[in-house]
Chain A
C-alpha cells in the first residue's frame, strides 16, 4: 500500500519532470559510418556491400538488415526515426494489478520458503546494513611552555550503523610525572540528523584534580559548510551547574600529505563554579594550529602551537591560585586512527 500510495503521489508530482525528454537526443552524432567497411570481406556480414548512411542523424539503413523482420510498421518507424522527436516519456504510473499477483517471492516455489528465508535475510543485511567503527586519536601531544611541560589528549571513537552509533570521547591534560590534572570521558548515543550532522546525548564523567563531576550531555557534531568539522555540547552537572562547549577545526591541505589544521574551542558557563575554578560567561578559549604530515591517513605526526586563556571570573580564579590567565604552548604530537 505504501508503495502504491507513493507511486500515485509520484504520478501527481512529476509529470513535468518526466516531460523533459531528449531534445538533445535528436541531434545525433553517429561516429564514422565507414567503420563497418573493414569488415565487408566477411561474406556473412549483412552489411557487406552496403553503404552506411551518411546522414549524421543516421537511423540505420532500413535495407541493411536482411535478418530484420520485414513488418512494414517497423520499417516505417525506423525510416522516420531521424525526424521524429523520439518517443516521449509516458506518464509515471504504478504497476498494473497483474504485476501485483502471484507469490511474493518467486524462488520459494522452487527451493522452498524455508531455504529462501535465511538467504533473503542475508541479502537484505548485505545490501546496506553495514556496521562499522573507528577510533580517532585526534590529538596526543606533548605540551611545552613557560611552566612545567605536560601532555594532552583528545580522542573519540564510534561503532554502529549509518544512523545510530555508540560514541565515546575523551580528553584531558596534565603535567609530566603527575596523574591527570583534568580528564573527562563521554559515553554518547549518536543519531544522524541529516547528511552531515549528528545529535549526541549521554553522560560525561570528569576525573582529576578537584572534585569529580558527572554530567548529562546533549550536543551536535558534524560537518559544516566549507568543510569545518564542528561540535557543540551542553553539560548539566550532578550539582546543577550548566556549562557549554563549542569546537571547530579545519583541514587545510597544503599538499596531499601536509595538512595545516587550525582549531578553536570555547567554553562557557552559566554560573561560577569556584570549586572547579570556572567563572560564568566565556570561561576559556583555546586556539591551536597544528601542521601534520600524513605518512598514511591513519598516522600523522605533527607540530603545533596553542594559545589558551581564561576570561572573567575564571581568570580571577587562576590568578588567585598564582596561575597565569593564559599563554602560549608549543606542541608535538601524533594524530592517528584505526
Chain B
C-alpha cells in the first residue's frame, strides 16, 4: 500500500526526477532508455539491433524482472521484457523458431497478422500449443504492413511479460512520412502472480478499487464525488459501483513504457523539427490507457496497423491490444512528457521525448477519477447530462426507455435480449437502450477540454477491399457479473461448452456487439480485420480489436475470408480467462468441396 501512495503522490507532485536507476541488460536495445530510434528509420544510421530476416529465434524462459527497485518473476522471450522487436518486410516469408524452456505449455500469437489458422498460435484452437522444452516453428508470408505485436495465448503468461512488438515495413513506399520512429509498448506489471489477481477478484469484485465514493468524500465534494445522493442511492439499489472503471488498478500495477516504470522514465530522442512516428502498442493485461503528450498534438496515421486518413488529436484512448501510429513534430528544443494514464486514473505510465538524455518535462498530476454515467449503464437515451450534441439525432430512433421512470427500472429485462442470451447468474445487467458510441471518446474523456480521438474520426486511407453489403447480422452481447467477476458472451462462459460462432467462407456479415456491462471491453477477432461501421461507408477503419464502450453497441462488417478456427475474445486478459471467449469457425476449409 505504501508503495502505491508513494508513487501516486510522487506523480501528483510532478516531482519525478531523472531517476537513472541502473537497469540491467534486460531491455532490448530499442527499449533502452535514451533510444535514438529504430533501425531502418529514414535519416538515421541503423544502430539498434532487432530481429529481422527469414529465420527468427525466440526463447521463452523464466527471468527475473526489476522495476521500481524491486525484482519479480517474469516470463520473457530472449530474456527481455518486452520481447525483442521483430521487424519484417511485407511480402517476405518468415520462419519463427520458438523454443519453450518453461515447465509448462506456452505459445505465441501474432496479434493482427493475417496468417493461416494453424500458425495463429492459440492452443486448443489453432494448434496444440508448444509443449515444455520443445520448439515449434511458425512459418508464414507477410501479407501486410504496420505496427503489430505478439504475445502468449497460454494461461496468464502475458501478464508475466510474454509480449513484444512487431513492425512490418510496407513493400511499397510508405505513405506516412517520418524522420524517426519509436516503438512505445505500454503494459502493466504486478508482483502478484496472475492467479492471485484472479483469486482476489473472485473474493471481492472491487478488490483493487481504492477510489470509491465515500461519505467523507461526499461531504468534502470535488470532481470525484459530484454524484448526487439520489443518484448514489440509485446505483446502490442496483448493486452497481459507478467508480468500478478498472478491475485491476495501480493498487498493484506499475504501468510500463517499453518495460520502464514511471521512475525509470524511458526516454526517446528526437531532433527539433523532425517528424517522429510513435508506434503505440497496448500490450497491457487489464489496462486501457489514455495517451497524451502535453504541448504536442498527435496526428494519428494508422490504427491497428492499417493506415488511416491523418487526424490530429490531443489525446486518445487505447484499448488492450489496439495499436495506433501517430506523428508528432516537436519544433522546440525541449522535453515533452508522454503520459499514459490508466482509464481509472489510479496511475500512469510515463516516458519522456527529448532532444537529449537527462532532459525532463513536468509530469502532470493524475486527473480526477471518472464516474460512470447513465449512458455507461446502457440507458444512452435517458442520460441528458453527459450527452454530446451530436447524439441527439440518434435518440429519437433509439429511445426505448424514455417512458421508464427511475422507480420502475428493470436492469435485467430479459425481453430486451434474444433467447440466445442466457440471463443467469453471470448476467447482472442488460442495457436498456444501448447506443452507438463510436462517436464517444471513451470513459472519462467527455469533458477533458481538448480533442480526443473517437472511432468516428477514423477513415481508412485506402478504400475498403470488400464493399458488398452484409447479408446477415450476428448479435453478440457482452455480459458479466461484476460482483462474482464472471464475464461472458451472451451470458455463457466458454467453459460451459458453447457452440462456435459459424461463418461461411467469404460471406459478408455484420457483427453487432452490444455491451450490457458497465466496463469497456476491447474485443478481438483473430485472423481478420473488422470494418467499424462508423458512417464512412467504403472507408471504414479496419481493426482487429474494437473497444466497445459500456452500455454501447458497435456494428462491425466482416468478410469471413480466412478458413479455419479462430479465437474471438475480450482482450482484458482476466475477462477472457473468466469466460469471455468464443471460437469462430469459417467453412469450408481449404480443399473441402464447396
Interface residues of A (CB under 8 A from B): 2-3, 6-7, 9-10, 13-14, 17-18, 20-36, 38-39, 41-47, 52, 57-60, 65, 67-69, 73-74, 77-78, 80-81, 84, 86-87, 89-93, 95-96, 98-103, 105-107, 109-111, 115-116, 118-130, 132-134, 162-163, 192-196, 223, 225-227, 252-256, 258, 295-297, 337
A84 to B172, CA, bound (A): 34
Shortest Cβ distance from B453 into A: residue? A31
Known pairs A29-B456, A60-B459, A87-B470; A106 contacts B589 (CB<8 A): yes
Q: In the complex the two chains form, is B499's CB within 8 Å of A123's CB?
A: no
Known pairs A6-B420, A101-B588; A128 contacts B579 (CB<8 A): yes
Residues of chain A with a CB closer than 8 A to B398's CB: 20, 23
**Per-position 1/0 for B390-430, Cβ under 8 A of A:** 11011011100000000000001000101110001111100
Known pairs A25-B533, A123-B122, A255-B216; A111 contacts B555 (CB<8 A): no
A73 to B412, CA, bound (A): 45
Cβ contacts A to B, 11 pairs, < 8 Å: A10-B420, A22-B438, A23-B393, A31-B453, A38-B275, A68-B463, A98-B505, A133-B199, A195-B239, A195-B412, A254-B215
B299 within 8 A of A: yes
B79 within 8 A of A: no
A162 to B577, CA, bound (A): 13
B93 within 8 A of A: no
Interface-located stretch among B17-25, B66-74, B257-265, B473-481: B473-481
A96 to B474, CA, bound (A): 12
Known pairs A18-B475, A23-B397, A128-B493; A30 contacts B467 (CB<8 A): no
Q: Which of A41, A105, A127, A193 has the most chain B CB atoms inside 10 A of its CB? A: A127
Residues of chain A with a CB closer than 8 A to B102's CB: none
Known pairs A44-B175, A102-B587, A162-B486; A81 contacts B128 (CB<8 A): no
Q: In the complex the two chains form, is A17's CB within 8 Å of B475's CB?
A: yes
Known pairs A7-B420, A68-B462; A29 contacts B301 (CB<8 A): no
Known pairs A81-B536, A98-B587, A111-B128; A18 contacts B199 (CB<8 A): no
Residues of chain B with a CB closer than 8 A to A34's CB: 312
Residues of chain A with a CB closer than 8 A to B199's CB: 132-134
Interface-located stretch among B138-146, B203-211, B542-550: B203-211
Q: In the complex the two chains form, is B473's CB within 8 Å of A105's CB?
A: no
Q: In the complex the two chains form, is B475's CB within 8 Å of A23's CB?
A: no
Instruction: Pick the contact of A192: B309, B390, B397, B484 (CB < 8 A).
Output: B484
A73 to B537, CA, bound (A): 13
A281 to B387, CA, bound (A): 55
Known pairs A30-B311, A59-B536, A87-B533; A102 contacts B592 (CB<8 A): yes
Question: Interface size (B, Cβ < 8 Å)?
Answer: 131
Q: In the complex the two chains form, is A86's CB within 8 Å of B535's CB?
A: yes
Interface residues of B (CB under 8 A from A): 1, 105, 117-118, 122-129, 155, 172-177, 198-199, 202-204, 207, 210-217, 233, 236-239, 275, 299, 301, 309-313, 327, 329, 390-391, 393-394, 396-398, 412, 416, 418-420, 424-428, 435-436, 438-439, 451, 453-454, 456-457, 459-463, 467, 469-475, 481, 483-484, 486, 488, 493-497, 499, 502-505, 507, 510, 512, 533-539, 555, 557, 563-565, 569, 576-581, 585-589, 592, 594
A177 to B129, CA, bound (A): 60
Residues of chain A with a CB closer than 8 A to B576's CB: 127
Shortest Cβ gap from B558 to chain A (Å): 12
Closest 6 CB pairs of A and B: A123-B124, A128-B579, A128-B493, A42-B177, A24-B394, A128-B495
Shortest Cβ distance from A24 into B: residue? B394
Q: In the complex the two chains form, is A31's CB within 8 Å of B311's CB?
A: yes
Known pairs A20-B398, A227-B236, A297-B207; A30 contacts B459 (CB<8 A): yes
Q: In the complex the two chains form, is A92's CB within 8 Å of B418's CB?
A: yes
Q: In the complex the two chains form, is A96's CB within 8 Å of B589's CB?
A: no
Instruction: Pick the contact of A127: B438, B459, B493, B499 (CB < 8 A).
Output: B493
Known pairs A2-B499, A25-B533, A162-B486; A256 contacts B210 (CB<8 A): yes
A193 to B424, CA, bound (A): 8
Shortest Cβ distance from B396 into A: residue? A23
Residues of chain A with a CB closer than 8 A to B419's CB: 6, 9-10, 13
Instruction: Pick the contact of B592: A86, A101, A132 (CB < 8 A).
Output: A101
Q: In the complex the two chains form, is B311's CB within 8 Å of A35's CB?
A: yes
Known pairs A26-B393, A27-B390, A227-B239; A130 contacts B198 (CB<8 A): yes
Q: In the complex the two chains form, is B177's CB within 8 Å of A41's CB?
A: yes
Shortest Cβ gap from B211 to chain A (Å): 7
Residues of chain B with a CB closer than 8 A to A253's CB: 212-215
Known pairs A296-B1, A297-B207; A125 contacts B495 (CB<8 A): yes
Other A-B pairs, 12, CB within 8 Å; known A22-B394, A81-B536? A9-B420, A24-B435, A29-B390, A41-B177, A44-B172, A78-B538, A91-B473, A107-B564, A111-B127, A120-B124, A127-B569, A196-B483
Q: In the complex the two chains form, is A127's CB within 8 Å of B311's CB?
A: no
A227 to B586, CA, bound (A): 45
Instruction: Pick the contact of B123: A17, A28, A122 (CB < 8 A).
Output: A122
Known pairs A99-B585, A297-B207; A92 contacts B474 (CB<8 A): yes
Residues of chain A with a CB closer than 8 A to B129's CB: 119, 122
Residues of chain B with a CB closer than 8 A to A84's CB: 537
A24 to B578, CA, bound (A): 33
Shortest Cβ gap from A80 to chain B (Å): 8
Residues of chain A with a CB closer than 8 A to B481's CB: 195
Q: Which of A9, A18, A20, A116 has the most chain B CB atoms inside 10 A of its CB? A: A20
Q: In the complex the two chains form, is A23's CB within 8 Å of B394's CB?
A: yes
Q: In the complex the two chains form, is B391's CB within 8 Å of A24's CB?
A: yes
Shortest Cβ gap from B271 to chain A (Å): 16
